[in-house]
Structure 1
Amino acid sequence: MDLKKTFNSRAKAEANSGFGTNPSNYGGRFVNKDGTANVSKRGSGWLDRVSWYHTMINMPRWRFMLVIFAFYAGVNLIFATLYFIIGIEYLDGIETTGSAWNQFWKAYFFSAQTFTTVGYGHISPSGFLTSTLAAGEALVGLLSFAIATGLFYARFSKPKAFLRFSAHAVVAPYNGIKALMVRMAPYKNNNLTDAEAKMTLAMVVTENGKPVTKFFFLDMEMAKINSLNLSWTLVHPITESSPLFGFGAEDFSQAEGELIVSVKAFDDLFSTTVAAGTSYTFSEMVYGAKFNLMYSENQANTRTILHLDKLNSYSKVSID
């Protein structure tokens, strides 16, 4: 079966998708699993394309700490080398009779004390060049720690949705028809209200004998909810107006494209709107499956328990 000719032609495609329509330029997916755009920019200098602030704020925690420690060690290594080149004899308190490596490491720790403005006092600069270098290093240290403190605070206070999405989308029975479903759940102790979701299907179809990427805004059973405290399953009923109407298991396995999911909600702690998103290629859609329930009541029947480890749990069902 030629899938590119079997999509529902009655479904209304959207032109203002924000993505190109030429499938030959399609890089595997438009949106990464973490919701970021799968785009690599070229045509200008690297420094013009990179925002250091956004990079430092959004990088993983372990990498951020590694960059901070590497910068700290590297700057002190540079200054220690300069002190050593000027002459170790201009650092009062360092014995000049030891090995060169021993002298260098003492100069390194003097640099660390100057950079952090600790200044224990047993080593001090003498001479114009060494004193000038130490004064300059103290200024660099003050500015560096001010920037690092600002980055720490920005990362700590940055509003986030703290939403996790299921690893797969499923096609399950739904009120006598089929439906495409995606599940999400908040995994922190934040409180999200007025949540709103959108599902966009990008699919390669044949139009006038040429492959074209079409975009469809999918209708949803419920696109808005007042409070997002438990899991939320987004449901797109596959009715006659759906671009997926008439698709079977073979069609889903042969289709090319992806489902793009975006969610925004209001975080009452920060009093601002937060957003999250993800995407699912057709290979990440499980045909003939339904999500298992991921919340229950406690033994005293006084509290609802949300089992985050069951977010990706589903069972196979027959729908044909």
Structure 2
Amino acid sequence: MARGFRKRIRQKNTENSGFGASASGRFIKKDGLPNVERKGVNILNRFSWYHTMLDLSTVQFLTYLVTAYIVINLIFAFIYYLIGVEHLTGIDKSDPLNEFIDVFFFSSQTFTTVGYGRIAPVGFMASLVATFEAFLGLLTFAIATGLFYGRFSRPRAYLRFSDVAVIAPFQEVTGLMFRLAPYKNNALTSAEVVVSTAIEVSENGESKTNFYTLKTHLNHINTLALNWTVVHKIDEDSPFYGFTEDDFKNTPIEIIVHVRAFDEVYSNTVVQRSSYVSKEITYGAKFIPMYYPAKDNAFTVLDLDKINEYKAVEMPILVEEE
């Protein structure tokens, strides 16, 4: 057990973490979402399709849209084909493949309400299916337009966190540090950070998770224009007081980060979260500066490729107290 647990920790265990003492595994994933699997609810009610579509990457979102468009038109093409191509005028009946191709493109023209006029439905069943497909197409494109607007207009922090946190010398002791930086041209002001930690301990032979709020050297900045290195001083008030390199490696730890800022363009508050577990904490390292002046000193260059770069440093020797 780490020396910090053998001594009296002045900071009290926090009760407002949002996770119980018996929760296990990583609490917050790297993308900021809670690492929770819900049961007792059917799969249709377990997920919000709207939130899911907004959270998809651009490639995934476009892939889903194109795939859905093709699948829907294939389904209606089969329906038209089963009704009979003789109920569609202008079909190339030279062979079955050409017939199906014409039926598929007729379906796509009906679904998008383009209707070039070369192919038209004849009879009640073909006209009924075409009417329903056109109505479904209007609803589908209205939903797709709303999703595009929601993804385009949704306020986001656009922050990139370092992949690792480091333990480095800080003010004659040591400090836990990680850094973050905006990666788009959005203007963030009044940025605040709240850092907490989950430490798994063994009490009476049972594993228990204790949560602590970590005091940071600076928890508020007026403008987040460059990178921000967040520092937690490991002193006598820190739950990590007395931790050695082996303690950080072998003790189940998670650092939970919550950043809130005001976006001037959206005129709204944006929030982003991340976390670091034991294997993502590097002991005896210091971040390398990631911004520098331009050659003509006309502006400052923020090199986001350097956000994870650090160098090894000599750590102060911990002296055991009697």
TM-score, with normalisation over the residues of structure 1? 0.95
Task: Tell me what 1:248 maps to.
Answer: 244
After superposition, what is the alpha-carbon deviation per residue over 1:4-58, rounded to whole angstroms, capped at 9, x for unaligned?
9447533311022110102xx412x100011111111111100011111011111
Q: 1:56 to 1:3 in 2, by over 3 A?
A: farther
Gaps of 5+ in 1: none
Query: How far 1:265 sits from its partner (Å)?
Result: 0.2
Task: Note the alpha carbon deviations across 1:104-147, whole angstroms, 9 max, x for none.
Answer: 11111111111111111111111111111111111111111111
Quote how far apart the aligned CAs of 1:2 are. Answer: 5.8
Superposition pairs of residues 89-104 of structure 1, within 5 angstroms: 89-96=86-93, 98-104=94-100
Q: Is the 8 A contact 2:9 2:238 kept in 1?
A: no
From 272, 280, 293, the equivalent of 1:297 is 293
SS of the equivalent of 1:143 reads: helix
Give 2:84's aligned residue.
Answer: 87
- 1:240-272 CA deviation, whole Å, 9 max, x = no partner? 010001111111111112000110100010000
Q: How many residue pairs end up in the alignment?
A: 316
Q: Percent identity?
A: 48
Distance 1:8 1:166, change over 3 A: farther
Aligned to 2:46: 49
Q: Kindly report which structure 2 residues correspond to 1:162-201, keeping only aligned pairs within 5 A, or say none.
A: 162-201=158-197
Gaps of 5+ in 2: 318-322
- 1:4·1:206 contact (CA, 8 Å) conserved in 2? no
Q: CA deviation at 1:3?
A: 6.8
Shift of 1:316: 0.5
| Amino acid corresponding to residue 21 of structure 1 in structure 2 | A
**Structure 1 residue aligned with 2:133:** 137
Please say if residues 31 and 279 of structure 1, whose CA atoms lie closer than 8 Å, have aligned partners that are also in contact.
yes
Secondary structure, aligned partner of 1:9: coil
Q: Which AA in structure 1 matches 2:264?
A: D
| Mapping of residues 1-320 of structure 1, within 5 Å | 5-6=5-6, 9-22=9-22, 25-27=23-25, 29-96=26-93, 98-319=94-315, 320=317
Q: Deviations over 1:265-317 (max 9, x none)?
A: 00010000001111000111001111111111112212111111110010100
Write the letter of the residue equivalent to 1:137.
Answer: E
Closer, same or farther in 2 for the Cα pair 1:224/1:150, shift >3 Å? same
Mapped partners of 2:202, 2:95: distance in 1: 76
Letter in 1 for 2:195: M
Instruction: Determine the C-alpha separation between the residues in 1 that align with 2:234 and 2:48.
Output: 42
1:226 CA drift (Å): 0.5
Q: Is the 8 A contact 2:159 2:183 kept in 1?
A: yes
Is the contact between residue 165 and residue 280 of structure 2 (CA under 8 Å) also seen in structure 1? yes
Distance 1:106 1:211 in 2: 65
Aligned to 2:11, the other structure's residue is in SS state coil
Decide whether aligned partners of structure 1 residues 233 and 311 sit closer, same or farther in structure 2, where only a CA change above 3 A counts.
same
Distance 1:7 1:260, change over 3 A: farther
Report how far residue 175 of structure 1 moved.
1.2
Q: State the TM-score, normalized to the length of structure 2.
A: 0.95
User: For residues 306 and 7 of structure 1, what CA distance do their matches in structure 2 show?
Assistant: 42
